[in-house]
Structure 1
């Protein structure tokens, strides 16, 4: 949703489960929900990259319990998922989009809204993200950054979950189609809404029974720019820390050499 993680608000509960895949306007959707629901929104991409380290660590736990498929593990997974989302008015983006059945169980009154996009343009857009996260030097650059050391393990587990749900871990336009088909199977028809952020306030407000905020234009956030900014931010943090580590190491070597 940007370069700042949202903070939970005590007493706030999930009213909207965002079921749209990443790169379908989830950042704009989150900003719009923040206005309409007057509460913090858990945009998974932002929370996992810009939030405190425990966010990624907890998602790793949730994914591991989900992948085990045992009843006891599922109970623990639901408990952790509720902890992760407690205090937020809505959840959007992955991996929340792959936990729609579990989130519906936790929040039976919540509306499920899936942001949509042309599958071909979605595939191209998602490929940009894959290119960034797949750059071989990135894990090494992020190694000294608090919280980021676990990020690539998190992505690996998310890929395993995608493979179980969609039959493949590498996103393609067919993944997008399978996601829509999967939602139609797991979400009752009267709880599922499809929404294109290009349509603005009217269809979203209608789905939520909210008045259109005529004094505010519908927010449009460039997801590509947001991802690039976050990637540059963490790479700069990592390289700075590596510089300090190397400088301290070099100073230590020089000290002992002189002695």
Structure 2
């Protein structure tokens, strides 16, 4: 692990992960953390992990962004004390909570996304991973949060957790190894901090307006697999229904 990204979700983590990939780093964002380290990270959320276990988990990756790795940034830093830390946050907690609520609203309103999570084996496993890392550990929210109406979100708890997380980073992260990065500043401070050349292509901007759900469904290898599983589920249901009808007619 070369770079520890400590910013919470909805602070530009998708943009940062894409930027680091452009710079040539291997990055585990949410999808890769689930597919490559899902069981180990669930153990970290529910039981805790030792420094040696975190070192083994992230030994072969350059960086990790978003949940649940950002939650464990201190533990990961203990495992990789030579790593650099990049921290992102919004201009204000109120700006952050608006973006956070918009993301939750888009997820709940996307019928295909919710069906995929409910009816496929990998989708249900991803949902388990999500509510253990995002709801319970990340934001101190109840397990059934994703099934609740968006108007019932208690924003006080996520805002409290957000402030606590950011304050902790500012308090104990080593100043000489930490970049408090603003995405609007673009490549220059990021590349200077990492001591790498500035790319010729423009600085990216991902997940604008909470559109990451649509991007997952269109581009994600994980969600292509989940959609293929749904086709199998639907096919089995149709076949069983047809067999049932034929038996009734006989």
The alignment's TM-score, normalised by the length of structure 1, stands at 0.74
Cα RMSD over matched residues?
3.0
Paired residues of 1:113 and 1:193 also in contact (CA < 8 A): yes
The answer to whether 1:154 aligns with 2:129 is yes
Long gaps (5+) in structure 2 = 141-153
Query: Which residue of structure 2 lines up, in the alignment, with residue 61 of structure 1?
Result: 43
Q: Deviations over 1:25-66 (max 9, x none)?
A: 112211221233x231111x2325xx64x6433322221222
The answer to whether 1:35 aligns with 2:11 is no
Query: Which residue of structure 1 lines up, in the alignment, with residue 202 of structure 2?
Result: 217
Structure 2 CA distance for aligned equivalents of residues 220 and 228 of structure 1: 15
Paired residues of 1:42 and 1:92 also in contact (CA < 8 A): yes
Worse overlay, 202-211 or 171-180: 171-180
Structure 1 CA distance for aligned equivalents of residues 232 and 117 of structure 2: 9
Structure 2 CA distance for aligned equivalents of residues 82 and 139 of structure 1: 34
The alignment's TM-score, normalised by the length of structure 2, stands at 0.76
Structure 2 CA distance for aligned equivalents of residues 112 and 87 of structure 1: 17
Equivalences, count: 228
Query: Which residue of structure 2 lines up, in the alignment, with residue 6 of structure 1?
Result: none
Q: Deviations over 1:98-150 (max 9, x none)?
A: 01111101111111111222232221111122234556976554234242212
Worse overlay, 97-106 or 249-258: 249-258
1:205 pairs, out of 173, 188, 191, with 191
Paired residues of 2:27 and 2:62 also in contact (CA < 8 A): yes
* Offset, 1:92: 1.0
Residues 143-182 of structure 1 aligned to structure 2 (within 5 Å): 143-158=118-133, 159-162=135-138, 172-182=158-168
Q: 1:135 to 1:239 in 2, by over 3 A?
A: farther
Query: Which residue of structure 1 lines up, in the alignment, with residue 62 of structure 2?
Result: 89
